[in-house]
Structure 1
Amino acid sequence: MRKKQRTAKKDSASRQRSPVTPHQSPDTRQPSAVTRHPQWPPAVLLMGPTASGKTAVATAIAGKLPCEIVSVDSAQIYRHMNVGTAKPGTELLERVPHHLVDIVEPHESYSAARFRDDALIAMREITERGNVPLLVGGTMLYFQALTEGLNELPEADAAIRLVIDTMADESGWPALHGELARVDPETAARLKPNDAQRIQRALEVYYLTNTPMSELLRKPKCVYYPYSAIKIALVPGERERLHERIGRRFEDMLELGLITELRKLRNQYALEPTMPSMRCVGYRQVWQYLDGEFGLAALREKGVAATRQLAKRQLTWLRATKDVEAFDCLAEDVADQVLDYLQRALEKLSAVA
């Protein structure tokens, strides 16, 4: 990730580079975080942690440039899950074209591989209309799947997952971690004994293929991504201020009816807490609250803590992402900064096309 961190030293050679520190000075930077190919159309990737203001910046971009938004969010794919996913409102969805929002039911599964296929179809259609795909979100696995490809792994199997969940109910996830260590010790070694989601997936892959997931992951990826990517990250100049945003955001969700929303979903669908939709941050904690595991005060505390952990993981992933231009999401003029940079980046791509 490309960005600069100014120090008190006057010697420019002493300036340090940090993979998560955005520019603090007025923007005169040149558009360098672009993966170019003269025959490929442009695509903009707007990434950032939760509560970084991605929707506001994306809306500003779409208001000035011929863009259509492709959501890169593993929670906003679900219908009827609006409050807890901070889904764009009806007015915005009608005013600015959005793709991959409200595409599956809460009880259905959805994979990174399916996202990649769906996103590439949407991007091709957007490009054919003469517009620029603007991919916006914080699900870093989806971004990686899109730009770097995926290993060939089987799709989720509801029947197999039900068997695994039943085994977990009877014996506990640490026991299943032991089973995974027997059939796939390499994968088990990097997972914690209570990492239910990843243990389930690793066992599911083994039961479906009779091959350890670690072995399948070593096979070459199939990569097809015919776009010149302009990668932009919204990151906080001050982590504590992002934490304050997260706290206010979760409180707003509660006031907007997150508890009522989940209560209705549980009445409408045959949901289980182990389903991917119900593992989404916020919904998982409200589920536990509705089950009587703790009270409202603990719900607030646990919901905010889980969201902070999500933001931490997202920022960790961004550190490892190459060729990304970072902007301080807390700056009042961040949308103007991003728009100015993006306009110059697109002009530069047009000049070499």
Structure 2
Amino acid sequence: MTPTTENPALDCWYLTGATAVGKTSVAMELARRLDAEILSLDSMAVYRGMDIGTAKPPAELRRAVPHHLIDVVDPDEEFSVAQYRELSFQAIRAIRDRGRQPLFVGGTPLYLKCLLRGFFDGPPADWDLRNEILTELETVGSEALHARLTQVDPVAASLIHVNDTRRIVRALEVYRSTGEPISHQQMEFEDGVPADQCRVFVLRRDRDEQRERIERRVDQMFDDGLVEEVQGLIDGGKQLGRTARQAVGYCEVIDYLNGKHDLAEAVELIKARTRRFAKRQRTWFRGLGECRFIDIGPDDNPAAIAERIATDPQAGLS
């Protein structure tokens, strides 16, 4: 799909940033100022029943301000970037028909990029080839498969985490079926619009403060019942699909329930993985020229931050 000046997502508002930066509280204040409805920009919030680990906004906030693109599919179903983009465009048009502003809120950079620039969906799935690569994965493991991707497509490998087996397999499949690295085919979509021509605001905190917030959030998730949530999904027959299982926290809790490590180890593994995830998010945002960064500190009030964004001199662009 080729980016177009008719892209309805270019004229929306975006509030993003790394995990645990404080997007939800600012988003609620900003939505009130803009008379906006919120669209989730989170690749894991689309899954029903995965509430605590994905930090979905609580029900009272969703009643106060309409939210969209949350609880779209069951966790045993696959959900693609193409599906997300299509549903987003439908929601944008419906919100505008109601005379309100669309405000995207969340921290999935790939979703942000696909909305702003389009995306390369690649050739149709070659299931024979994909199954061959999946067999390789079972034999050699994700690190070795990632190393093979590095040999043929170092650009893609640098952007894909070693444990993101779904994207590693897809990148190798595209290369082996077309003879061309997927990263080369994606270059068509690398040019974005200047930051002063869109409304993409990235909340950013000091690294040490961000780390503390991540650790508090993980502890709170367990206090809120993350283990029970995962056990409930399993007991209800909702085995997590390949994509849903990649959500930070869920695979670690499943391993804990299967006896692979104790609870304390699971907590520390989730904290470490969340810190790495936040680091990759920050790298993504720095690479998107559409982004404007809003530096915030521990004493900054969400209402004041929202006011800064809503009154940004460039936010009144047509």
Query: Do the two structures share a fold, i.e. TM-score over 0.5?
Result: yes
Among 12, 15, 18, the alignment partner of 1:43 is: 12
**Equivalent in the alignment of 1:101:** 70
Instruction: Classify 1:67/1:194 alpha carbon distance in 2 versus 1 (closer, same or farther; 3 Å).
Output: closer
Residues 88 and 171 of structure 1, relative CA distance in 2, 3 Å threshold: same
Cα deviation for residue 276 of structure 1 reads: 1.2
C-alpha spacing 1:73/1:157, structure 2 compared with 1 (3 Å): farther
Q: Identify which of 209, 224, 233 aligns with 1:256.
A: 224
The root-mean-square deviation of aligned C-alpha atoms, in Å, is: 3.4
* 1:332 aligned onto 2:300: yes
Residue 332 of structure 1 deviates from its aligned partner by 2.8
| Residues 41 and 266 of structure 1, relative CA distance in 2, 3 Å threshold | closer
1:146 matched to 2:136? The reply is no
Instruction: Name the residue aligned to 2:277.
Output: 310
Aligned to 2:268: 301
Question: Do structure 1's residue 73 and structure 2's residue 42 form an aligned pair?
Answer: yes
Matching residue of 1:85: 54
Tell me which structure has the larger Cα radius of gyration. 1
Letter in 2 for 1:264: G
Is 1:285–2:291 an aligned residue pair? Answer: no
> CA deviation digits over 1:175-231, x for unaligned, max 9?
54576578x45568647876634321213434666754245334x349999xx6212
Q: Residue 135 of structure 1: SS of its match in structure 2?
A: strand
**1:116 paired to 2:85:** yes
Give the match's secondary structure for 2:203: strand
Residue among 170, 178, 185 paired with 1:216: 185
- What does the per-residue CA deviation read over 1:121-180, in whole Å, with 9 as the maximum and x for residues that have no partner? 211221221111111010011111111111242476888756543442234335545765
Structure 2 CA distance for aligned equivalents of residues 189 and 312 of structure 1: 16
Stretches of structure 1 that go unaligned for 5 or more consecutive residues are 1-35
Distance across 2 between alignment mates of 1:153 and 1:292: 39
Alignment partner, residue 22 of structure 2: 53
Q: Give the drift of 1:311.
A: 1.2
CA distance in 2, matches of 1:71, 1:134: 9
1:94 CA drift (Å): 2.0
- 1:238-277 to 2 correspondences below 5 Å: 238-269=206-237, 271=239, 275-277=242-244
CA distance in 2, matches of 1:152, 1:241: 37
**Normalized against structure 1, the TM-score is what?**
0.75
1:324 alignment partner, SS class:
strand
How has the CA–CA distance of structure 1 residues 290 and 186 changed in structure 2, closer, same or farther, with 3 Å as cutoff?
Answer: same
Q: Which moved more, 1:329-338 or 1:296-305?
A: 329-338
**Amino acid in structure 1 at the alignment position of 2:76:** H
AA at the equivalent of 2:316: K
Deviation at 1:317, TM superposition (A): 1.8
Identical-residue share of aligned pairs (%): 37
Cα distance 1:306–1:167, how it changes in 2: closer, same or farther (>3 A)?
Answer: same
Distance in 2 separating the partners of 1:127 and 1:48:
25
C-alpha distance in 1 between matches for 2:65 and 2:230: 27
Q: Is the 8 A contact 1:70 1:99 kept in 2?
A: yes
TM-score (norm 2): 0.83
- Summarize the Cα distance change of 1:189–1:246 in structure 2 as closer, same or farther, 3 Å threshold: closer
Q: How many residues are paired up?
A: 309
Q: In structure 2, what residue type is equivalent to 1:62?
A: A
Kept after mapping to 2: 8 A contact 1:206/1:213: yes
Distance 1:293 1:194, change over 3 A: same
8 Å contact kept, 1:42–1:230: yes
